[in-house]
Amino acid sequence: MSVLICDSNGELWHTRVKELGLDYISMPYFVDGQEYDYDLGENTDFRKFYDLVRSGKIPTTQALNPEDYKRILTPYFEKGEDVLYVSFSHKLSGTFQFLDLALKELKETYPDRKCTVFDTNSISLGAGIQMEEAAKLKQKGASDEEILAFLKEFTNRVCVYFTVDDLMHLKRGGRCSGIAAVAGTILGLKPLLSMGADGGLTVLGKISGRKKAIRTLADKIITELEDEDKYSVYIVDADCPEEGDRLRDMVLEKRPNAHIVRQIVGPVIGAHCGPGTLGVIFVGAKRPVPLNN
């Protein structure tokens, strides 16, 4: 018997996680000298977080250590349960090196137990939509092997597009050079970003102006969305709800049957992308291809 778990970097809303019967690993963030664990919005003060960032406070994130993972996984193993963990992209964090260390130590104590990890090669609801579909299959009685076979195909169809309002947040996270960040800010360029097939962040292009960036995101859904009767479309914003709602309305004008879920970006992801980020996540024919491919 196995238990399906996910992590809070998949950003499924806390009520949805409970509906799906998922357990999740809370990922930490730090702001204004305090440590928090993201609880998928259950008690999160989003306004306080984004107000602090706008006031100049620099939030940070941190990988879990091996002891954290042993604390999380040991209760399952003690009950004789295996674990299937659908995770956010391994390329975006060193935390999975510590998970590997923890699993090696746990294997010595629980040799008959196993933890299978599926890397969604995505983050935020790009990972979350895969976690959601895995949980729906689990509820229908699918085996681990059946879930993994589905995810290996499904992950290649999950489309993630987003734009940030201030390139300096990406610069601090090592995703954009200092010169490019300053130049882009001065010129008013808005990068169109996505998740590559390898789970890394990729730049698809640069857009002149905020309005055009929002229009571009809407067009991506309108032209690339498939299976709208089966899968939700997620539109997320980092404390810019009016623009997120405008983006939703632009999509519904052309794709009225799309099931759109609106959600705020959590503090862990928000620490790296900054206030004003807008993103869309949906199921298409294939993942976006970087311009240099």
Q: Are residues 177 and 51 in the same domain?
A: no
pLDDT-derived band at 293 (thresholds 50, 70, 90) equals very low
CATH of the domain at 7: 3.40.50.10170
Res. 203: pLDDT tops 90: no
- pLDDT of amino acid 172: 53
**CA neighbor of 274 nearest in space, from 140, 169, 154:** 169
Q: Are strands 28-31 and 82-87 parallel, antiparallel or unpaired?
A: unpaired
Torsion 274-28-288-16 (CA) sign: negative
- pLDDT of amino acid 289: 76
Q: Are residues 69 and 84 in the same domain?
A: yes
pLDDT-derived band at 190 (thresholds 50, 70, 90) equals confident
Taking the CB of residue 46, how many other CB atoms lie within 10 A of it? 15
Distance, CA of 123 to CA of 161 (rounded, Å): 11
Mean of pLDDT values over 42-59: 95
Q: Total domain count for the chain? A: 2
- pLDDT of amino acid 254: 98
- Residue that terminates a domain, selected from 156, 171, 187: 156
Q: Are residues 6 and 151 in the same domain?
A: yes
Average pLDDT, the chain: 91
Torsion 10-14-16-22 (CA) sign: positive
Res. 278: pLDDT tops 80: yes
pLDDT-derived band at 208 (thresholds 50, 70, 90) equals confident
- pLDDT of amino acid 290: 67
Distance, CA of 234 to CA of 256 (rounded, Å): 15
> For residues 169 and 257, which has the higher predicted lDDT (pLDDT)?
257
Mean of pLDDT values over 169-196: 55
Evaluate whether 193 touches 207 at the Cβ level (below 8 Å). Answer: no
Mean of pLDDT values over 246-269: 98
Q: Are residues 216 and 93 in the same domain?
A: no
> For residues 226 and 169, which has the higher predicted lDDT (pLDDT)?
226
Write the CB contacts of 38 (distance below 8 Å, at least 6 apart in sequence): 8, 9, 26, 27, 28, 29, 44, 266, 267, 268
Torsion 45-50-55-61 (CA) sign: positive
Distance, CA of 125 to CA of 248 (rounded, Å): 16
Distance, CA of 131 to CA of 120 (rounded, Å): 9
Write the CB contacts of 8 (distance below 8 Å, at least 6 apart in sequence): 24, 25, 26, 27, 37, 38, 39, 40, 266, 268
Mean of pLDDT values over 21-47: 96
pLDDT-derived band at 170 (thresholds 50, 70, 90) equals low
pLDDT-derived band at 147 (thresholds 50, 70, 90) equals very high
CATH of the domain at 247: 3.30.1180.10
Evaluate whether 119 touches 85 at the Cβ level (below 8 Å). Answer: no
Res. 115: pLDDT tops 50: yes
Res. 160: pLDDT tops 80: yes
Strand partners, 191: 206
Which tens digits make up the pLDDT trace of 67-106?
999 999 999 999 999 999 999 999 999 999 999 999 999 9
In-domain check, residue 292: no
- pLDDT of amino acid 179: 31
Q: Are residues 150 and 21 in the same domain?
A: yes
Question: The whole model's pTM is what?
Answer: 0.92
- pLDDT of amino acid 183: 35
Distance, CA of 183 to CA of 63 (rounded, Å): 31
DSSP-assigned letters across all residues of the chain: -EEEEEEGGG---HHHHHHHT-EEEPPEEEETTEEEE--TTSS--HHHHHHHHHTT---EE-PPPHHHHHHHHHHHHHTT-EEEEEES-GGG-THHHHHHHHHHHHHHH-TT--EEEEE-S--THHHHHHHHHHHHHHHTT--HHHHHHHHHHHGGGEEEEEE-S-HHHHHHTTSS-HHHHHHHHHHTEEEEEEE-TTS-EEEEEEEESHHHHHHHHHHHHHHH---TTTS-EEEEESS-HHHHHHHHHHHHHH-TT--EEEEEPPHHHHHHH-TT-EEEEEE-SS----TT-
Q: For residue 102, what are the domain limits?
A: 2-156
> For residues 81 and 185, which has the higher predicted lDDT (pLDDT)?
81
Mean of pLDDT values over 186-199: 78
Report the share of the chain in percent with pLDDT over 70.
90
pLDDT-derived band at 250 (thresholds 50, 70, 90) equals very high
Mean of pLDDT values over 236-263: 98
- Residue that terminates a domain, selected from 103, 121, 156: 156
